Amino acid sequence: MAASTPFQSSVKKVCVIGPECTGKTDLSRFLGDHYKTPWVAEYARTYLHHLSRPYQQHDLTKIAHGQIRMEDEWLRDANRILICDTNLLVIKVWSEYKFGTCEKEILDQIARRNYDLYLLTHIDIPWENDPQREHPDKRKYFWDVYKKEVAATGVAAIEIVGTREERRAKAIEAIDTLAL
């Protein structure tokens, strides 16, 4: 897995992160359109959609590879900002929850990859069933875990709560404070 190259340092990377079913993809898509820049979809969705068995820990490393590849590819086309609908912290959280540990390769990449802002989506919107979603009863647990993980990065983080319009406005306000 490759780290970001120096020419890309002028692009600000914003990661939308949070528990399942908290509006991450909707917000990422909106922000990409708003800033006229690419947004990086969650690679795990495509990977798991094509998997014909329950995922295993080694699958998470493959998902990490795909997520990094997509992020690095879209970074080249970014218009001063790149919106990421998740990052490797999500894989770490899932791996530790489901398997009790996380592969060193994923942890090493987390340490190498830089973001400029986290938008932490709250659990204040209703749960919607989806075959890939696993834990409707653990949203508060995962909210607390993501909040802790994001805080440990030392990167600025804004909690995104409220109606769709309030969430969008808060995200735009936070991103506009970055020196674009």
CA-based nearest residue to 65, from 106, 126, 19, 22: 106
Does residue 4 lie in a domain region?
no
CB 119 within 8 A of CB 158: yes
The greatest distance separating any two alpha carbons of the chain, rounded to the nearest whole angstrom, comes to 45
22 pLDDT higher than 70: yes
Stated pTM of the model: 0.90
Does residue 3 lie in a domain region?
no
Match 């600025």 to its residue by tokens: 156
Q: How many residues does the chain have?
A: 180
Q: What is the pLDDT of residues 67-122, one digit of tens each?
A: 999 999 999 999 999 999 999 999 999 999 999 999 999 999 999 999 999 999 99
Grade residue 134 by pLDDT with cuts at 50, 70 and 90: low
Q: Which domain holds residue 52?
A: 9-176
User: Residue 126's pLDDT is what?
Assistant: 76
Q: Which two tokens stand for residue 70?
A: 């997509």
Does residue 2 lie in a domain region?
no
87: domain CATH number is: 3.40.50.300
166 pLDDT higher than 90: yes
Distances in Å between the Cα of 108 and the Cα atoms of 103, 125, 138, 170 are 9, 33, 27, 31
| Number of domains making up the chain | 1
Q: Which DSSP string corresponds to 2-18?
A: PPPPGGGGGSEEEEEE-
C-alpha to C-alpha distance for 127 and 22, rounded to whole angstroms: 8
Does residue 81 lie in a domain region?
yes
Does residue 156 lie in a domain region?
yes
C-alpha to C-alpha distance for 44 and 155, rounded to whole angstroms: 24
**More confident site: 46 or 134:** 46
The average confidence (pLDDT) of the chain is 90
CA-based nearest residue to 59, from 21, 26, 16, 106: 106
- Name beta bridge partners: 104: none
